[in-house]
Amino acid sequence: MSGAGAAMHRVYTDLARLTLEDSQVTALTGLAERVRELTEAVLYTDVEEDELAGVTAELATLTERLKAARREHPPVAVLGEDGTVRQLASPVTGLLNPIAPPVRVEALPDGAGVRASFTLNVAYEGPPTFVHGGVSALILDQVLGEAAARNGRPSMTATLDMRYRRPTPHGVPLTAEAAVTRVDGRKSWADGRIIDPQGRTTVEATGMFVLPRF
């Protein structure tokens, strides 16, 4: 893990990655949201092939316009007011990452863990009408990791055990919650679950997280 620790240290001490003006965050958040809508439209579209070709070509032009000025790294993180790292480019929670649902994670009072809320569209579908099992793992890895690392320092997953109780529906508001159950030195363990709109647990997870040395 020392390589990972060194890489994280370099990035989290690179202030250029941490400082993004609020207006930039707002503009990029809006752009990412439009890409999410585009993604859903791609999955449902039934327009003629010449129209597909036209849209495809114009899309390439828009991408080139965005590439006219390029950062060295994505704006991975900004420091939140409470000192926590906010992952702007995370594939799970990142407002700026079009592949993120995005999942919104909040700390519960009195160190009682974290709660997440999100709705997954058809892009995250596995079995018809249900969320892909791996997407539930993706989200719980993040949510458990945030419970374990709520002191603001990033941890890395060592183990993650998923137990699927019932199918998780997409297109409806879901919640996830997680809390640390044990800490031993650089290791922490967390339990969590995804809950459907009827309050039923659909997936349970247990994870062990390790704080890199740096």
- Termini Cα distance of the chain: 10
Q: Closest approach of Cβ 113 to a second copy, in Å?
A: 18
Which candidate, 112, 174, 111, 171, places its Cα nearest to that of 140?
174
Helix (H) or strand (E) holding 59: helix 49-66
Q: Which stretch binds a second copy (CB under 8 A): 68-76, 107-115, 171-179, 186-194?
A: 68-76
Tell whether residue 160 is a contact of a second copy (CB under 8 A). Answer: yes
User: What is residue 12's DSSP assignment?
Assistant: H
Number of residues that bind a second copy (CB under 8 A): 91
Q: Which of residues 128-157 bind a second copy (CB under 8 A)?
A: 128-130, 132-135, 137-142, 145, 154, 156-157
Q: Which of 51, 119, 152, 181 binds a second copy (CB under 8 A)?
A: 51
Which whole-number Å values give the CA distances from 58 to 38, 51, 54, in the listed order? Answer: 13, 11, 6
Nearer to a second copy, 78 or 162 (CB): 162
Q: Does 112 bind a second copy (CB under 8 A)?
A: no
Does 116 interact with a second copy (rule: CB under 8 A)? no
What's the closest the beta carbon of residue 204 comes to a second copy, in angstroms? Answer: 10
Cis ω for the linkage preceding 102 (within 30 of 0): yes
The distance of Cα 203 from the centroid of its chain, to the nearest Å, equals 17
